[in-house]
Amino acid sequence: MIDEPAPTRVDENSVITGATCENETLKTTFVINDSEDIKFSKFTKEQIDEFKRMQTEMLKEDFCGSKNPLIDKASWIYNYENGKNFTVINLTREDCK
């Protein structure tokens, strides 16, 4: 997804709406939407926690495997279409040890 213009649809449930660098942290913002198979708007707290756990595992693998020396901290911000926050995942190089 690097070098793609924003917004960029990732899959049927998410769109990258932008990326910024603030306070030495790369922040990537997504809008998530319901699809026929997944209804994020109906998720319980437990389902949101499970989504966050699974996404964190996947993102940590990519983040920790990156050879880019310029990115020490990253945040993935997931919002509903109405702008309300769904969840945020934060990682630092310390998480890779």
- Strand ranges across the sheet with 25-32: 8-11, 14-22, 25-32, 73-80, 85-92
The third-level CATH classification (topology) of the domain covering 8-91 is GMP Synthetase; Chain A, domain 3 (3.30.300)
pLDDT in tens, 23-65: 999 999 999 999 999 999 999 999 999 999 999 999 999 999 9
User: What secondary structure letter does DSSP report for 43?
Assistant: -
Closest CA to 12 of 28, 29, 32, 30: 32
pTM (2 d.p.) = 0.89
Which band of pLDDT confidence, cut at 50, 70 and 90, is reported for residue 15?
very high
Q: Among residues 70, 52, 68, 59, which one has the least CA distance to residue 28?
A: 59
Q: Where are the domains of the chain?
A: 8-91
User: What pLDDT is attached to residue 48?
Assistant: 98
What's residue 4's pLDDT? 63
